[in-house]
Structure formats: structure tokens, C-alpha cells
Amino acid sequence: MQRITSFRRLLCPVLRTRCYSQAVSQGPAAQRAPLAVQYPYYIPRNSRGSIPVYSDVRNAGGRYLILIRNIEGNVNALAHDLRKTLFPAESPESARLRVEVKASKHLIITGCRAKHRVIEWFQQRGF
């Protein structure tokens, strides 16, 4: 008799559960897959897993540089996208902003203190 009750106790949870197809339904997040965007440039993460954007302060804080290192692909396209989307032409920062390519793999941004905005911009784009 005791064997039957323990057997029922084992079967009861199985009988109460739904089939896999009923239990797992596609939610709104699963239905909307993000579109893969191909950019002409790629920024690989460094050995610690962060985006290679660095700040460099020179002349006792009078000159602030933002360095983006190890860019693969078209560096000029990245410079154009940064100027166009992150620093629009109407903003007061864009008058002082200067983006230059250095050694064909690095970018130097001068004229603003926006390192965290640059990092967020890369993260929003999926880098």
C-alpha cells in the first residue's frame, strides 16, 4: 500500500504540468528580434571586456582628449558617424569639436568632455 502512495506522489507533479509547447509561449521580447546592422567599422573589446575608449588630460586640464583605439575597418566612416549622430551640427560642442584619424587604427576627439557619451553611443550600436 505504501508503494502505491509513493508512486502517486511521484506521478502527481508530472500529471499537473503542461506539455512543453504549452508551457513555453513566445513573449513579446522573443517575437521582436533585433535587426543585425553591418557597419563599415568594428571596435573589438579589450582584454578586460570593455570598449577601448580612453581619456587623456594634458596641460593641467586645459586639453582633454578622447582616444578610441584599435578600430578595424573604415576609420573615416566611424569619424563621420560620430560627428553626425553624437555631435549634431546645431550643438555648441560641434563648433569646437575636432575628430582626427591617427595611425589608421585610432581616433582622437578633441574639444569636448564626452567620454561616457561616446561609450554609451557604442553600446547602443551593439559594440
Q: Which residues partner with 16 through β-bridges?
A: none
Q: Virtual CA dihedral for 73, 76, 82, 83, nearest 10 degrees?
A: -170
DSSP 30-79: HHSPPPP---SEE----TTSS--EEEEEETTTTEEEEEE---EE-HHHHH
CATH number of the 41-124 domain: 3.30.780.10
pLDDT (tens digit per residue) in 72-119: 999 999 999 998 888 878 877 778 888 899 988 999 999 888 899 999
pLDDT value for 107:
94
pLDDT value for 87:
81
Of 19-28, 45-54, 117-126, the one with minimum mean pLDDT is: 19-28
pLDDT value for 4:
56
Full-prediction pTM beyond 0.75? no
pLDDT value for 113:
87
CA distance 72 to 74: 7
Q: What is the rounded average pLDDT of the residues 59-81?
A: 91
pLDDT (tens digit per residue) in 7-22: 555 555 555 555 555 5
Q: What is the rounded average pLDDT of the residues 28-48?
A: 76
Question: Is 60's pLDDT higher than 70?
Answer: yes
